[in-house]
Amino acid sequence: MSIMASIIIYLMTIIISVYSFYIVEKSQSKVKRIIGIFFAIGIPVFTAGVRYSIGTDYFSYINAFERIRMGYSVRWTDLEHGYVLLNLFLGQLGLGSQSIMFATSLLMMCFTSKALFNKQKEISVWFGALTFFLLFYQSTFNGIRMMIAVSIFLYNIIDIENQKLIKYLFFSALAASFHITAIVTIPLYWIFNSRIIKKSLLSKLVLYLLTGLVIIYFNPIFSRILSTINIPALNYYEKYIGFSSKSIDIAIKKFIMFLPILMPGALFYKKCMEQDKNFYIYYSLMVMGVIIEALAIFKASYVDRFAEYFIISSVIIIPVYLRVFKKKEYFMFITGMIYYLSLYWIYIYFICNNHGTVPYQWIL
């Protein structure tokens, strides 16, 4: 399938799903809302579910499903328990290996959708969905386990806001059962429930500085953690320590790429806080994510993947912006943001072919 055909398939998936989210958000009819949510979640799940040989680990996941279904033992260092149990469940239902593609996409879409609707008083849900599709959707075809964990964390942020510690820890553990790296999100509950973080700009700057220092010195810090505690799933990532990293030029480019998301929040921070009193959580996460993405790219290879847990907050941040602008400003912002998101989508997924989602192939 050609690149243009692939663009059309992904674009139609995005348009239908985002429009369905819009109907669900705006309609007062229960029937329309049910039908809308069916298409909003069902269409992207179908597109992801019927894919074939897309993503660098596609066949690894297919082979893992068959191994698990046939009863072969799977070590913790291979796959986390939550993901293994999902495979076992599908196998017990008598489903084939392709079912794991449907199931994982369904999990991601459900948690992401619930996270958006949890914030519908503060954001435009349909634009949050658009942001998700253009920034993250195709990456879910590749980093399957991690993106499940990321979507669970996005949903879990509401428990930081509501200070529901037990629930937050439960879903953090659930996320870690799909990808062990989700444990990095656990301290965020106490960080963002600290009054000083909410009220003090200096404390936020210190937090960003500490984030940068952790990434710069990540290799010795991680080595010390591994020598202190014995978690097999973490030991698996020891092989990445010391890998040669990319140039600072790429790190700067990464930082510049996210400026259109960061700048409105910096310029209109007070208005955003009036719209959503917990905006500081999402914005701080985004800043931390950009720092991790930029610094890790030349100081600690593969650690930039951790940034996904933080940058996913953009699906809340950008829709908040829409609510703080008046009509003229709104039109200019929404036009500019759609232009930016579209350019990002085309560059990352079609020009760079990150995550290997082009050309699109399916099992049908």
**Residue ranges per domain, the chain?**
3-356
What's the pLDDT score for residue 239?
59
CB 348 within 8 A of CB 134: no
Whether the upstream peptide bond of residue 187 has omega within 30° of 0, thus cis, is no
Q: What angle do CA 6, 8, 13 make, to 5 degrees?
A: 100
Token pair belonging to 276: 């959503």
- In tens digits, the chain (364 residues) has pLDDT values of 688 899 999 999 999 999 999 999 998 899 999 999 999 999 999 999 999 999 888 998 998 898 888 877 665 446 788 999 999 999 999 999 999 999 999 999 999 999 999 999 999 999 999 999 999 999 999 989 999 999 999 999 999 999 999 999 999 999 999 998 899 999 999 999 987 787 788 888 898 998 888 887 777 777 776 667 666 666 666 655 555 556 777 778 888 899 999 999 999 999 999 999 999 999 999 999 999 888 877 766 677 788 999 999 999 999 999 888 877 778 888 899 999 999 999 999 999 998 889 999 999 7
Spell out the residues 6+ positions from residue 87 whose beta carbon is closer than 8 angstroms to its own: 64, 65, 68, 69, 79, 100
- CA–CA separation, 239 vs 295, rounded Å? 19
Q: Note whether 346 and 147 are within 8 A (CB).
A: no
Give the Cα separation of 109 and 79 in Å (integer).
21
Which is nearest to 312 in space by CA: 83, 108, 86, 165? 108
pTM for the complete prediction? 0.92
